[in-house]
Structure 1
Amino acid sequence: MNRIKTDICIIGGGSGGLSVAAGAVQMGASVVLLEGHKMGGDCLNYGCVPSKALIASAKHAHEGLNNAKYGVAVAEPAVDYAAAKDHVHDVIATIAPVDSVERFEGLGVQVIQEFGRFISKTEVQAGDTIIEARRFVVATGSGPLVPPIDGLDGVKHYTNENIFDLRERPDHLIVVGGGPIGMEMAQAHVRLGSKVTVIEGGKAFGKDDPEAAAIVLDRLREEGVEIVEEAQAERISGQGDQITVHTPKGDYTGSHLLMAVGRKVNIDKLDLDAGGIAYTKHGLKVGPDLRSTTNKKVYAAGDVAGGLQFTHVAGYHAGVLIRSLLFALPSKQRTDHIPWATYTDPELAQVGLTEAQAKSRHGAGLEVVRFEYAHNDRAIAERKTTGLIKVMVVKGRPVGATIAGHLAGELIGMWAMAIANKMKMSAIANTVLPYPTISEVNKRAAGAYFSPRLFESGMVKKVVGLVQRWIP
């Protein structure tokens, strides 16, 4: 058995683990990284990267059908589903070297391609190596949750971990789960020529602002996605090449089944009990500093920290941990400034509080300002006028923003910056943006906050009147 002593041992080579490893080793710490599966984690191999690549293929397939409104002949797409998957895997392969073993070894990280498990409070074993470290970072991420639905084990079903390996286009894709993953894949597949039915036990996009979600759901239905809500999947059966999902609202039969009902954290192989590490089904029990509540040598990053499950959150956690691990400085995470987006068309994005959350927390002190895409000149030129932005404002500062529309995932960044830096609405209103751009949606929303104060105020009109009378 080999033994290694190091400053930092990181378990998991996904976004959070790789970010900590790269930062720590380049700042002078000795680092051991353990990854028993694929470098880059879920995001690169099964999540963000392949899904956005497939969505890009679907977008190009769909665009020709809408040519007429631009004065161009309509073009029916000739979709090669297998070639679209080749595009997906080419994108993964292009990005993979950035996350590779070779790159990190080149930086000075000792990479061990084995799963790690705790054997004591101060030691982790990976294969035939025992690593003793000053600090451990658990960054093992999450995987698809496959619920114990009666009959599911007896039929072929897909998750985000294997749907991108499917080479033959589904004739009729049944998606169980109406969250971001399910809805992105539903729209992508209907645009690529599949019939698609989404079955959701509650409300589709149930965690998002209902008004904004309705804009996206209306578009998906227009494109042919059948969305069945309040229909819990009770049983699944299969016969030949047909799969049926049985619900209280009826039975739905298709050729392929995608399970997209949520995520579960990857902690089963860690033997956390041996490490004296408290945990729940949501991940490690950590404080605001991401440090284990029961083993002070252990920290968590990303999904296993028990909070928001996004790649960019894992990267953010890495920054919080670098400050603590390398410089022994107090560093705590916050979540009020974390944005997220769903990459349907139109996109759906959020940062901070939704309107309902803000009303509950701030009551009469809340102002909600709105601006419709239909009044943005670039959106009109691009024929992308479906959408709106809502900004929740308290005492002149944004506490949340919701955007449903073209490039919402890009636009939300301005509000994430504003909330992160405690900026006022005046900072957005004072920003000069190039014309015509979709980003003016943000500025116009800020203008909607100030308009009543300027144009409907009797005091302002009185002051202007006095000034005009006294100007020589």
Structure 2
Amino acid sequence: MKQHGKIVLLLLIVLLVVAAFLSPLGDWLTLERLKASRDAVAAMVEARPLAVAAGFFLLYVVATAISFPGAAILTLAAGALFGLWEGLLLVSFASTLGASLAMLGARYLLRDWVGRRFANRLAAIDGGVARDGIFYLLTLRLNPAIPFFLVNLGMGLTRMRLPTFWIVSQIGMLPGTFVYVNAGTQLAGIESTRDIFSADLLGAFILLSLFPLLAKILVDWLRRRRIYRGWRRPKRFDRNLIVIGAGAGGLVTALIGVTVRAKVTLIEAREMGGDCLNTGCVPSKTLLASAKAAHGARDAGRFGVETGEVRVRFAEVIERVHRAIAEIAPADSVERYSGLGVDVRRGYGRLVDPWTVEVNGERLTARSIVIAAGGEPVVPDLPGLAESGFLTSDTLWAALRGQERAPERLVILGGGPVGTELAQAFARLGSRVTQVNRGARILAREDAEVAALIEARLRAEGVDIRNRCEALRVDGRSLVVRSGDAAAEALPFDALVVAVGRRPRLDGYGLEQLGIFADGDDALVDPWLRTRFPNIYAVGDVSGSYQFTHFAAHQAWYAAVNALFGSLRRFRADYSILPWVTYTDPEVAHVGHNEQSARQAGVAYEIARYGLAHLDRAVSEDAREGFVKLLVKPGSDRILGATIVGAHAGETLAEIVLAMRHGLGLNKILSTIHAYPTMAEANKFAAGEWKKAHKPERLLALVERWHDWRRR
């Protein structure tokens, strides 16, 4: 229906433009014709002032709405026929109304098409317009050298609100309109439109158009002075950039800095590589691999392989975890980064002022500072927990080192990705696992069907999942819980793992003294990753956003470039296409919207779904559990999001992430050759399901009749 409306509107515009060019309007809208017919038209104005004014107003609106040449002559005519103030009133409102109609027409006809092809760039432009759109539009309107219709078209492609566009256009076009209408009152002395704008007047208007941007620069300067009031800026700096924290975000920031020949100091008090290498991603995924091997050995009979009794040498499993850490560590080491040119300092960095960091008693200064201090596990205020010897994802690996067997009774507090991954891994390694989850289901950020599938798999493998279960206290070696209205129950454990989430590491390095992150705001950084001090940036967990290693590394590029080159150009961090994976078996991979988030955001969507049960590679590997579910924008093939559940889902997702990042729709995926047999074929088949749901029935009916005729 919307497509039909676009076709009708486009035909109407074409008809108006053609009619205008075929009519004698073009001959009338000349300076000579205006001067020759001025007396006759003036007589009409005197005889029927309201009717002529209304007709003139309508003509001006149409001419500006379809961008018909001659608006300048019409503006002169307004002054000649109606005088300065009445002419100014007519033209001012008519030009704004025409501009608004042109803007709305461009938005209706072109916004979706441009959005599908340049989604990420348009999102960045929309962000800039939301932030500084008034300044941009006012600057363009005040500059007569910029074509009127280009401004209307350009703003139509953004999400600027119509009232804002109307008011700013009304104000911005008023000075130029005044000059033309006033010139029209002196029509006899004008030989050409060049007589209206002298070089001096045109230059004055161009300077006037810069006023909004100059005002913005002044406001920003005053804001900076207020922020830095009370702090004394060093006269010169020891280095260009100081980075606090050598996890993923800090390492990438430092690497980018030295790559562009900046002098960079990197400060780390703990292990190089941060949480991901030492306590997070690397050890947990290594443990999961061992657990998967144990499970595969027990389950080998379904492949026709006899293995006998499977024994888990738990101490060797944990040693393998530490070997993996040690093998990867050199890539993140002091030696490597020192060799690349980074000044690496081991110790606790403390911010003394917005430009100075103290480490090991030495004070270092830099023009910009990036905080990449990472996060830490959330520990609930639970009676008896502190005395229980509980473990977290940070302390688990060292505590289990040397143990011959996995904990016999393991209680995991938390139903998120970390808790769920550990629950499945330890169950496969021989523990009796109880997972206590306060929410209605595990993996609360995923769709309900995804959580149900993973929950069913874990239960089948022996994990006792307690949803809607509240932890009350720890009594010795038992966690006391209550489910709903039931009586409290004690869950005995040999090990208790707390995995209820992580929080930014904000204490202990001077943020409190500077008032950074002290207001309790949800947004700890602005879109350029700046804190309340524009020269201090934050990336990774401390930025208050997603707690993923790849997210921190992605932010690091923006922080490094903005910190080093922000005075020339700043880049707004783009998180529009952010994938993540939960490494259960089967894996859960996600990017963009799922059904849950789309409903919460009010985003309309269609679903294209393909189950893995009949995918040849999945059948051959007996990995048929799972599906590819794509959310698609109605009326187009644009992908809004994807959830993939299945073996190697993280790798399969990569194609969808690439397609979304570069605006490639399902038709492009469908036309791409995929190697056979692979799990990635599921993406193509999901696109095929979408295509089947949108097949052109009328065209196919005509084709069928053509085939019938050909058989005669």
- Structures share a fold, TM > 0.5? yes
> Are 1:446 and 2:681 counterparts?
no
Distance 1:128 1:65 in 2: 57
Equivalent runs, 1:400-411 vs 2, <5 Å: 400-411=641-652
Aligned residues with identical type, % of pairs:
38
Out of 483, 492, 506, the residue aligned to residue 267 of structure 1 is: 506
Deviation at 1:452, TM superposition (A): 2.1
> Are 1:376 and 2:615 counterparts?
yes
Distance 2:519 2:323 in 1: 37
Contact conserved, 2:577 with 2:661, CA < 8 A, in 1? yes
> Are 1:291 and 2:524 counterparts?
no
- Does the residue aligned with 2:364 lie in a helix, a strand or coil? strand
Deviation at 1:336, TM superposition (A): 2.6
What is the aligned partner in structure 2 of residue 392 from structure 1? 631
What is the aligned partner in structure 2 of residue 177 from structure 1? 414
What is the aligned partner in structure 2 of residue 311 from structure 1? 549
Contact conserved, 1:170 with 1:256, CA < 8 A, in 2? yes
What is the aligned partner in structure 1 of residue 196 from structure 2? none
- Does the residue aligned with 2:629 lie in a helix, a strand or coil? strand
What is the aligned partner in structure 2 of residue 67 from structure 1? 300
Given the superposition, is the C-alpha separation of residues 15 and 280 from structure 1 closer, same or farther in structure 2, using an over 3 Å criterion?
farther
Q: Normalized against structure 2, the TM-score is what? A: 0.63
- Does the residue aligned with 2:511 lie in a helix, a strand or coil? coil
Larger mean CA deviation between 402-411 and 174-183 belongs to: 402-411
Larger mean CA deviation between 283-292 and 260-269 belongs to: 283-292
- Does the residue aligned with 2:238 lie in a helix, a strand or coil? strand
Given the superposition, is the C-alpha separation of residues 223 and 150 from structure 1 closer, same or farther in structure 2, using an over 3 Å criterion?
same
> Are 1:214 and 2:427 counterparts?
no
- Does the residue aligned with 1:232 lie in a helix, a strand or coil? strand
Instruction: State the aligned residue count.
Output: 464
- Does the residue aligned with 2:584 lie in a helix, a strand or coil? coil
Contact conserved, 1:176 with 1:259, CA < 8 A, in 2? yes
Deviation at 1:362, TM superposition (A): 4.9
What is the aligned partner in structure 2 of residue 8 from structure 1? 241
> Are 1:345 and 2:580 counterparts?
no
Out of 227, 244, 267, the residue aligned to residue 479 of structure 2 is: 244
Contact conserved, 1:172 with 1:196, CA < 8 A, in 2? yes
What is the aligned partner in structure 1 of residue 138 from structure 2? none
Equivalent runs, 1:42-121 vs 2, <5 Å: 42-121=275-354
Q: Normalized against structure 1, the TM-score is what? A: 0.94
Letter of the aligned partner of 1:427 in structure 2? K
Equivalent runs, 1:409-420 vs 2, <5 Å: 409-420=650-661
Distance 1:256 1:297 in 2: 45
Given the superposition, is the C-alpha separation of residues 279 and 438 from structure 1 closer, same or farther in structure 2, using an over 3 Å criterion?
farther
Distance 1:327 1:471 in 2: 70
Deviation at 1:436, TM superposition (A): 0.6
What is the aligned partner in structure 2 of residue 155 from structure 1? 388
Given the superposition, is the C-alpha separation of residues 30 and 462 from structure 1 closer, same or farther in structure 2, using an over 3 Å criterion?
same
Distance 2:380 2:653 in 1: 33
Deviation at 1:115, TM superposition (A): 1.4
What is the aligned partner in structure 1 of residue 226 from structure 2? none
Out of 432, 438, 442, the residue aligned to residue 204 of structure 1 is: 442
- Does the residue aligned with 2:366 lie in a helix, a strand or coil? strand
What is the aligned partner in structure 2 of residue 194 from structure 1? 431
Contact conserved, 2:392 with 2:499, CA < 8 A, in 1? yes
Given the superposition, is the C-alpha separation of residues 280 and 436 from structure 1 closer, same or farther in structure 2, using an over 3 Å criterion?
farther
* Structure of greater Rg: 2
Distance 1:193 1:316 in 2: 38
Unpaired runs of at least 5, structure 1: none
What is the aligned partner in structure 1 of residue 367 from structure 2? 134
What is the aligned partner in structure 1 of residue 494 from structure 2? 255
Given the superposition, is the C-alpha separation of residues 23 and 247 from structure 1 closer, same or farther in structure 2, using an over 3 Å criterion?
same
Deviation at 1:330, TM superposition (A): 2.5
Distance 1:280 1:345 in 2: 41
What is the aligned partner in structure 2 of residue 434 from structure 1? 675
What is the aligned partner in structure 1 of residue 260 from structure 2? 27
Letter of the aligned partner of 1:445 in structure 2? A
Letter of the aligned partner of 1:452 in structure 2? A
Structure showing greater relative contact order (alpha-carbon pairs closer than 8 Å, 6 or more residues apart): 1
Out of 284, 300, 317, the residue aligned to residue 538 of structure 2 is: 300
Contact conserved, 2:537 with 2:563, CA < 8 A, in 1? no
Letter of the aligned partner of 2:608 in structure 1? V
Letter of the aligned partner of 1:151 in structure 2? G
Distance 1:384 1:44 in 2: 30
C-alpha deviations, 1:306-364, integer Å up to 9, x for none? 1110000001001222332344332122223101111110111111111122234455x
Contact conserved, 1:171 with 1:194, CA < 8 A, in 2? yes
> Are 1:331 and 2:571 counterparts?
yes
C-alpha deviations, 1:144-166, integer Å up to 9, x for none? 11111011012111001111121
Deviation at 1:403, TM superposition (A): 1.2
